Structure 1
Amino acid sequence: MKTQYHLLPLALAAILNAAPAIGAGPRSAQPVQPILADLESTEAEALLFMREEERLARDVYLVMDELWQALPFANIALSEQKHMDSVKSMMDKYDLTDPSNPNEPGVFANPELQALYSQLIDDGDESYLAALRVGALIEEVDIEDLQNVSAATENPALQTLYGNLLRGSRNHLRAFASEIERQGVVYEAQVLDPTELNAILDTPMERGGQGKGQGTQGGGRIARPGV
């Protein structure tokens, strides 16, 4: 199953404007440089979308952990919370308000994410292997969407944020695929191009930023022809 990336048509809540330096003497003559570039409305919409998409991952993994009480759901849910917190920190810098309440699991402002959440919960309820495939699908979708929003902005702060989240999502995908293949099943791409998927899975866990993996494990792939 593949979800398409669609941004919510949300208005920009506020744009952070740098205030001029206040003070006396020669040193106050030079204006303070803004820490962040002005945020375009499309960039704000993307940031709000990614906040909900990261929360979808967390909420699904918490349900899967309750259902199956097996790795790697609990560990990756903790990592997704950190992803959410990173996005929220950036939102706060721009005075953006959450599109939905993060304390109401499984309830989203974006109707596409709402429908996807319900479908993923149903799919993951079928078996532990199905739940692992749900996790891998979420990470593939996250990777595709993060690549899209990163390519659509020239804002260095946003690019850094999305780059960190991408590292984390690649690590999570490695963890899910590794666990799937420990069940004796060769994992195949659900959304990403197979060549891109194999390049990710054949690369060791990444470190730095949000890419530490939160205790997830990689490796142990089943050999496949041509890889």
Structure 2
Amino acid sequence: MKKSKFIRLIPILIVSLSFTLISACSDNNDSITDDIKNQTLTESDKTALLFMLEEEKLARDTYMYLDDLWTINQFANIQKSEQTHMNSVESLLIQYNVAYTILPVGEFANQDLQNFYDQFVIDGAINQANALQIGATIEDLDIVDLQTNINDTNNAEITTVFESLQCGSRNHLRSFVSNIEKGGDTYIPQFLTQEAYNTIVSADNEKCN
């Protein structure tokens, strides 16, 4: 009789234990999610977000200009991707309630980025080969700056977004370099190390989140 009662209790104990484990896992996942949502930004994080918003704008604005000038499909397509990159950074700024301003096309609050844009449109207007070199240079710069900011932050959301943007920039770099080489020219990395550049361009396009 005692043995029978014990057998009948086994399913109840199993259900009870399962519920406890599920609840514990659920609570743990909720805690992780809350930790991510409740992360605060350091001043360095804010500066990085504001800078990368404008650097993605640098790419978009330059490609818009070069597309109007040369009507090269790459510039038309990649400028749309750069707008998506801007939107991703802007979403984080909104989420963390960081004040920002997006200036008109061709205008930048950061003087270094303004100088880059001014020079890029001059050099890119010389010929189509130069325009493609400018495209590769922008993606080269973007990959390096994103990596610097990834290394400097402890914020998981910023890291996730910046890694996704970096993935896109690697694909863009491969695209520009491919066209440069089809024209019989070569791109020499301006910001990436030669080793890092070789690793990127020798790899297949990636699927980015």
Same fold, judged at TM 0.5 (above): yes
Matching of residue 126 in structure 1 with residue 126 in structure 2? yes
> In the alignment, which residue of structure 2 is the partner of 1:62?
64
Shift of 1:136: 0.4
Aligned to 2:25: none
Q: How many Å apart are 1:162 and its aligned residue?
A: 0.6
> Is there any run of 5+ residues in structure 1 with no aligned partner, and where?
1-29, 210-227
The match for 2:208 is 208
Q: Which has the larger radius of gyration?
A: 2
Residue 49 of structure 2 is matched in structure 1 by 47
Structure 2: distance between partners of 1:33 and 1:188:
45
> How many residues align structurally?
178
**Deviation of 1:97 (Å):** 2.2
Say whether residues 1:72 and 2:74 are aligned partners.
yes
Superimposed CA distance per residue, residues 45-103 of structure 1 (whole angstroms, 9 cap, x where no aligned partner): 110000000001000000000110012100000000000000001110011122432xx
Q: Distance in 2 between matches of 1:92 and 1:136?
A: 30
Residue 3 of structure 2 is matched in structure 1 by none
Question: Which residue in the other structure is 2:199 paired with?
Answer: 199
Q: Distance in 1 between matches of 2:34 and 2:100?
A: 28
Give the Cα separation in 2 of the matches to 1:156 and 1:206: 21
3-state SS of 1:204 partner: coil
Aligned-residue Cα RMSD (Å) equals 1.6
Give 1 or 2: higher helix fraction: 2
Counterpart residue type for residue 78 of structure 1? K
Which portions of structure 1, spanning 4 or more consecutive aligned residues, are displaced by more than 6 angstroms? none
Q: Secondary structure at the match of 1:176?
A: helix
Task: Give me the whole-angstrom Cα distance separating, in 2, the residues matched to 1:119 and 1:33.
Answer: 45
**Aligned 8 A contact 2:50 2:100 in 1:** yes
Q: How far is 1:185 from its partner?
A: 1.2
Matched ranges for 1:1-227 at <5 A:
33-34=34-35, 35-101=37-103, 104-209=104-209
Distance 1:63 1:33 in 2: 43
Of residues 184-193 and 76-85 in structure 1, the stretch that sits farther from structure 2 once superposed is: 184-193
State the one-letter code of the partner of 1:188: I
CA distance in 2, matches of 1:187, 1:116: 18
> Is the CA contact 1:36–1:157 (under 8 Å) kept in the aligned structure 2?
no
Taking only the aligned residue pairs, the percentage that are identical comes to 41
Contact 2:49 2:89 in 1 (8 A): yes
Query: Is the CA contact (8 Å cut-off) linking 1:136 and 1:173 kept in structure 2?
Result: yes
CA contact (8 A) 2:140 2:192 kept: yes
The structure-2 alpha-carbon separation of the partners of 1:36 and 1:161, relative to structure 1 and needing over 3 Å to count, comes to: farther
3-state secondary structure, aligned to 2:72: coil
Cα separation, 1, equivalents of 2:145 and 2:38: 23
* Alpha-carbon displacement from aligned partner over 1:134-181 (angstroms, at most 9, x marks no partner): 010000000010000000001100100110000000000000000101
